[in-house]
């Protein structure tokens, strides 16, 4: 058994202690159908349509300015046709993430999910501006990178206080502070959820190490290049949002911002152009 497999087995013990939501049935059925040599679009439409809440949310998402449709989709059939199977699967996975926590009686976290959606949108948008980046993977990562936070918040009544300490720390890793209190952290928990939900290894690895900025600077990093790109892109997206809304600099940007820029080969001036483009894009979302 490899070192990675041993580590994964050890971390899976966390599942019983923090309560990681199982992969929704619809995602398993959708994945199985999409992987067929000749997927049935009719079956896929029926799967999605069987969940009224998911159907409504999917149509709302597809018709948002982010997708830029000239004519709004009014049926699930149209939504499937517009998105294509790959983007459809990623979009539904993200929507189910939010729905699972809503159904589990999770405390009101609308601001958290709205922020995650905004980061996902920006991560995807910035990925489009750079060569060799995958827009769909960037969007999914933006949604899932912090998915361990609501799990820990549900499990530990004092997590909000710990989150505040970690968020403000300028000299310690966010996850190090969480580990000190709970012997686990949101990156590890998010990684386990991503693995359980069968997200690609590129995404799950990026979630697991998204506070390990030193890995972006290592020429022989254990983190795959595609995963490194996702971590760097999301950090740039968060920074661009902060600048657009005139929010204070985050501790995470202080710790990893320059490393992320260097990893993506961007100068301060080039990033400034991206920020200007983001401003135009965000203004168009209003």
* Helix (H) or strand (E) run with residue 210 in it: none
DSSP code at position 243: H
Predicted pLDDT at 173: 96
How many whole angstroms separate alpha carbon 132 and alpha carbon 101? Answer: 34
Predicted pLDDT at 43: 94
Predicted pLDDT at 6: 60
Predicted pLDDT at 99: 86
Predicted pLDDT at 77: 93
Measured from the Cβ of residue 70, the count of other Cβ atoms closer than 10 Å reads 4
CA atoms in the 13 A half-sphere facing the CB of 52: 0
How many whole angstroms separate alpha carbon 49 and alpha carbon 189? Answer: 31
Predicted pLDDT at 231: 97
| Domains of the chain and any CATH numbers | 14-104 (no CATH), 106-286 (1.10.3210.10)
Number of H helices, E strands in the chain: 17, 0
How many whole angstroms separate alpha carbon 174 and alpha carbon 167? Answer: 7
Instruction: Please check whether residue 70 is in contact with residue 29, taking contact to mean a CB–CB distance below 8 angstroms.
Output: no
What is the b/e burial string over 254-266, where b = at least 16 CB atoms within 10 angstroms of the residue's CB? ebbbebbbebbeb
Tokens 């254990």 -> residue: 222
- 10-residue averages of pLDDT along the chain (286 residues): 61 67 92 93 93 91 83 91 88 89 64 89 93 92 95 92 96 96 94 92 96 86 90 96 91 96 95 89 72
Terminal alpha carbon distance of the chain: 52
Tokens 């580990």 -> residue: 179
| Three-class secondary structure of residue 36 per DSSP | coil
């Amino acid at each position: 058994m490899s070192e990675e497999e041993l580590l994964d087995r050890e971390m899976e013990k966390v599942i019983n202690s923090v309560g990681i939501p199982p992969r929704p049935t619809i995602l398993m059925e959708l994945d199985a159908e999409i992987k067929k040599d000749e997927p049935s679009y009719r079956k896929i439409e029926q799967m999605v349509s069987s969940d009224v809440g998911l159907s409504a949310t999917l149509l709302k998402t597809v018709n948002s300015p982010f997708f830029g449709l000239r004519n709004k989709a009014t049926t699930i059939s149209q939504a499937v046709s517009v998105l294509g199977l790959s983007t459809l699967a990623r979009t539904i996975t993200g929507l189910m993430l939010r729905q699972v926590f809503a159904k589990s009686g999770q405390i009101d976290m609308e601001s958290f999910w709205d922020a995650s959606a905004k980061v996902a949108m920006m991560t995807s948008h910035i990925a489009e501006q750079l060569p060799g980046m995958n827009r769909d993977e960037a969007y999914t990562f933006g949604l899932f990178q912090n998915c361990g936070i609501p799990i820990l918040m549900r499990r530990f009544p004092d997590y909000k206080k710990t989150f505040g300490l970690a968020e403000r720390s300028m000299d310690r890793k966010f996850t190090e502070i969480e580990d000190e209190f709970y012997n686990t952290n949101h990156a590890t928990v998010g990684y386990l959820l991503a693995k359980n939900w069968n997200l690609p290894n590129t995404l799950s690895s990026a979630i697991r190490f998204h506070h390990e900025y030193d890995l972006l600077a290592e020429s022989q990093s254990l983190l795959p290049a595609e995963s490194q790109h996702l971590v760097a892109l999301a950090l740039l997206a968060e920074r661009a949002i902060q600048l657009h809304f005139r929010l204070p600099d985050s501790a995470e940007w202080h710790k990893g911002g320059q490393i992320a820029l260097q990893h993506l080969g961007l100068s301060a001036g080039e990033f400034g152009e991206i920020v200007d483009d983001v401003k135009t894009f965000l203004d168009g979302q209003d």
